Structure 1
Amino acid sequence: MQTFRTEIENPIVEKDIIDLANKIQLFNNGKIDEEKFRSLRLARGIYGQRQEGVQMIRIKLPYGKVKSNQLRRISDVSDEYSRGRLHITTRQDIQIHYVDIQRTPELWAQLDQDDITIREACGNTVRNVTASELAGVDVDEPFDVSPYADAIFRYFLRNPISQEMGRKFKVSFSSSDSDTGLSYMHDLGFIAKIENGERGFKVMIGGGLGSQPREADELYSFISTDKIIPLMEGVVRVFDRYGERKSRAKARLKFLIKDIGLDAFKALVDQEQKAIEFKSVAIDADAYVTSKPVEINEIPQVTIKDQKAFETWKSTNLIPQKQDGYVAIGIKVLLGDFYTDKARLLADLVENYAAGEIRLSLRQNIIIPFVKRELVPFFYTELEKLGFANVGYNKAVDITACPGTDTCNLGIASSTGIADELERVIKAEYPQYLEKDDLVIKISGCMNACGQHNMANIGFQGMSVRTPDKLVAPALQVLLGGGNLGDGKGVFADKVVKVPSKRGPEALRRILDDFETNANGKSFFDYYKVTGERYFYDLLNDLQDVTNLTQDDFIDWGTSEEYVKEIGIGECAGVVIDLIATLFYESEEKIENAKESFDNNVYSHAIYHAYSSMVNSAKALLIADNKRTNTHAGIISQFDELFVESGKLDLGTAFSELIYQINKNAPTKDFASKYIENANQFLAKVRAFREEESKLDQ
Structure 2
Amino acid sequence: MQSFRTELENPIVEKEIIELERKIREYQEGKIAEEKFRSLRLARGVYGQRQPGVQMVRIKLPFGKVTFKQLLRIADISDEYASSNLHLTTRQDIQIHYVSLAKTPELWTKLAQDDITLREACGNTVRNVTASPNAGIDPEEPFDVSPYAQALFSYFLRNPICQEMGRKFKVAFSSSERDTAFSYVHDLGFIPKVRTVAGIDERGFKVMLGGGLGAQPMIAHVVHDFLPEDQLIPYTESVIRVFDRYGERNNRNKARFKFLVQKIGLEEVLRLVDEEHTANKVKSFMVDRNAVPQPEPPEVSPVVAELPIDLFRYEVWEKTNVFPQKQEGFYAVYVKVPTGDLSTTKVRKLVEGVKGHIADEIRITQNQGLLFKFVRKQSLPHVFNILNSLGLAAPGFDSVADVTTCPGTDTCNLGISNSTEMARVLEQLIYEAYADLVYNRELKIKISGCMNSCGQHGLAHIGFHGSSLKAAGKVVPAAQVMMGGGTLGDGLGRVADRVIKVPSKRVTDVLRLILDDYASYAMEGELFHDYYDRQTKDYFYRLLKPLADLTTLTDDEFVDWGHEETFQTAIGVGECAGVVIDLVATLLFEAEEKLDWANESYRTGGYADAIYHAYSVFVSVAKALLLDKGVNSSSQHAILKDFDNHFVETGEFTVSGGFAEHVLQINKHEPSETFASYYLAAAIDFFETTKAKRKAKDMINV
Smaller-chain TM-score bracket: over 0.9
Instruction: Specify the alignment match of 1:100 in structure 2.
Output: 100
Instruction: Specify the alignment match of 2:514 in structure 1.
Output: 511
2:160 is aligned with 1:160: yes
**How far, CA to CA, are the matches of 1:421 and 1:693 in structure 2?**
65
- Which among 616, 621, 631 is matched to residue 617 of structure 1? 621
TM-superposed CA distance for 1:215, in Å, is 0.5
Instruction: Specify the alignment match of 1:79 in structure 2.
Output: 79
**How far, CA to CA, are the matches of 2:377 and 2:701 in structure 1?**
79
* Residue correspondences, number: 697
| Unaligned stretches of 5+ residues in structure 1 | none
Instruction: Specify the alignment match of 1:38 in structure 2.
Output: 38
TM-superposed CA distance for 1:312, in Å, is 0.8
Instruction: Specify the alignment match of 2:8 in structure 1.
Output: 8
| Unaligned stretches of 5+ residues in structure 2 | none
Alignment map for 1:214-363 (pairs within 5 Å): 214-363=218-367
**How far, CA to CA, are the matches of 2:309 and 2:104 in structure 1?**
46
TM-superposed CA distance for 1:51, in Å, is 0.2
Report which stretch shifted further, 565-574 or 449-458.
565-574
Contact 1:361–1:367 (CA<8 Å) still a contact in 2? Answer: yes
Letter in 1 for 2:438: L
**How far, CA to CA, are the matches of 2:437 and 2:693 in structure 1?**
69
Alignment map for 1:663-678 (pairs within 5 Å): 663-678=667-682
Q: Per-residue displacement from partner, 1:629-657 (whole Å, max 9, x unpaired)? A: 21000000001110011112234552113
**How far, CA to CA, are the matches of 2:497 and 2:207 in structure 1?**
26
2:440 is aligned with 1:439: no
Instruction: Specify the alignment match of 1:477 in structure 2.
Output: 480
- Which among 560, 565, 573 is matched to residue 564 of structure 2? 560
Instruction: Specify the alignment match of 1:607 in structure 2.
Output: 611
TM-superposed CA distance for 1:152, in Å, is 0.2
Q: Per-residue displacement from partner, 1:476-504 (whole Å, max 9, x unpaired)? A: 00011111000110011110000011111
Letter in 2 for 1:145: V
Letter in 2 for 1:487: D
TM-superposed CA distance for 1:157, in Å, is 0.3
Report which stretch shifted further, 325-334 or 645-654.
645-654
Contact 1:68–1:350 (CA<8 Å) still a contact in 2? Answer: no
SS in structure 2 of the partner of residue 475 of structure 1: strand
**How far, CA to CA, are the matches of 1:564 and 1:696 in structure 2?**
54
Letter in 2 for 1:499: V
TM-superposed CA distance for 1:674, in Å, is 2.0
**How far, CA to CA, are the matches of 1:133 and 1:392 in structure 2?**
17
TM-score, structure 1 length as denominator?
0.98
Q: Per-residue displacement from partner, 1:232-285 (whole Å, max 9, x unpaired)? A: 000000000000010011101101111111111111111112211311001120
Contact 1:299–1:375 (CA<8 Å) still a contact in 2? Answer: no
TM-score, structure 2 length as denominator?
0.97
Contact 1:245–1:631 (CA<8 Å) still a contact in 2? Answer: yes
Instruction: Specify the alignment match of 2:666 in structure 1.
Output: 662
**How far, CA to CA, are the matches of 1:139 and 1:350 in structure 2?**
24
Report which stretch shifted further, 441-450 or 647-656.
647-656
Contact 1:2–1:18 (CA<8 Å) still a contact in 2? Answer: no
Letter in 2 for 1:172: A
Contact 1:350–1:356 (CA<8 Å) still a contact in 2? Answer: no
CA distance 1:6–1:74, change in 2 (3 Å): farther
Alignment map for 1:111-122 (pairs within 5 Å): 111-122=111-122
SS in structure 1 of the partner of residue 308 of structure 2: coil
**How far, CA to CA, are the matches of 2:567 and 2:246 in structure 1?**
41
Instruction: Specify the alignment match of 1:541 in structure 2.
Output: 545
**How far, CA to CA, are the matches of 1:462 and 1:94 in structure 2?**
23
Q: Per-residue displacement from partner, 1:270-323 (whole Å, max 9, x unpaired)? A: 111221131100112034333221323445211323211111111111012100
**How far, CA to CA, are the matches of 1:652 and 1:278 in structure 2?**
30
SS in structure 2 of the partner of residue 498 of structure 1: strand
Alignment map for 1:573-652 (pairs within 5 Å): 573-652=577-656
Report which stretch shifted further, 80-89 or 666-675.
666-675
**How far, CA to CA, are the matches of 1:390 and 1:546 in structure 2?**
36
**How far, CA to CA, are the matches of 1:242 and 1:22 in structure 2?**
33
Contact 1:179–1:486 (CA<8 Å) still a contact in 2? Answer: yes
Contact 2:335–2:392 (CA<8 Å) still a contact in 1? Answer: yes
Q: Per-residue displacement from partner, 1:168-204 (whole Å, max 9, x unpaired)? A: 0000001111111110000000001101111110000
Contact 1:442–1:451 (CA<8 Å) still a contact in 2? Answer: yes
Instruction: Specify the alignment match of 2:210 in structure 1.
Output: 206
Instruction: Specify the alignment match of 1:145 in structure 2.
Output: 145
Instruction: Specify the alignment match of 2:176 in structure 1.
Output: 176
Letter in 2 for 1:590: K
TM-superposed CA distance for 1:385, in Å, is 2.0
**How far, CA to CA, are the matches of 1:435 and 1:256 in structure 2?**
41
TM-superposed CA distance for 1:536, in Å, is 0.4
Instruction: Specify the alignment match of 2:498 in structure 1.
Output: 495
Report which stretch shifted further, 684-693 or 548-557.
684-693
SS in structure 2 of the partner of residue 352 of structure 1: coil
CA distance 1:183–1:680, change in 2 (3 Å): same
SS in structure 2 of the partner of residue 547 of structure 1: helix
Letter in 2 for 1:85: N
**How far, CA to CA, are the matches of 1:531 and 1:81 in structure 2?**
52
Contact 2:354–2:383 (CA<8 Å) still a contact in 1? Answer: no
TM-superposed CA distance for 1:619, in Å, is 0.5
**How far, CA to CA, are the matches of 1:405 and 1:678 in structure 2?**
50
Letter in 1 for 2:352: D
TM-superposed CA distance for 1:688, in Å, is 2.8
**How far, CA to CA, are the matches of 2:454 and 2:396 in structure 1?**
22
**How far, CA to CA, are the matches of 1:349 and 1:289 in structure 2?**
24
Q: What is the percent sequence identity of the aligned residues?
A: 53
Contact 1:186–1:207 (CA<8 Å) still a contact in 2? Answer: yes
Contact 2:174–2:191 (CA<8 Å) still a contact in 1? Answer: yes
Letter in 1 for 2:494: V
**How far, CA to CA, are the matches of 2:351 and 2:66 in structure 1?**
9
CA distance 1:326–1:41, change in 2 (3 Å): same
Contact 1:351–1:357 (CA<8 Å) still a contact in 2? Answer: no
**How far, CA to CA, are the matches of 1:557 and 1:697 in structure 2?**
60
Instruction: Specify the alignment match of 1:19 in structure 2.
Output: 19
Instruction: Specify the alignment match of 1:388 in structure 2.
Output: 392
Q: Per-residue displacement from partner, 1:426-469 (whole Å, max 9, x unpaired)? A: 111111112211110000011110001011000001001012x4
Letter in 2 for 1:412: I
**How far, CA to CA, are the matches of 2:503 and 2:448 in structure 1?**
15
**How far, CA to CA, are the matches of 1:209 and 1:32 in structure 2?**
33
Report which stretch shifted further, 623-632 or 51-60.
623-632
CA distance 1:553–1:22, change in 2 (3 Å): same
Instruction: Specify the alignment match of 1:399 in structure 2.
Output: 403
SS in structure 2 of the partner of residue 285 of structure 1: coil
**How far, CA to CA, are the matches of 1:309 and 1:191 in structure 2?**
36
SS in structure 2 of the partner of residue 204 of structure 1: strand
Report which stretch shifted further, 630-639 or 378-387.
378-387
TM-superposed CA distance for 1:548, in Å, is 3.1
Contact 1:137–1:322 (CA<8 Å) still a contact in 2? Answer: yes
TM-superposed CA distance for 1:140, in Å, is 0.4
Contact 1:347–1:357 (CA<8 Å) still a contact in 2? Answer: no
CA distance 1:663–1:549, change in 2 (3 Å): same
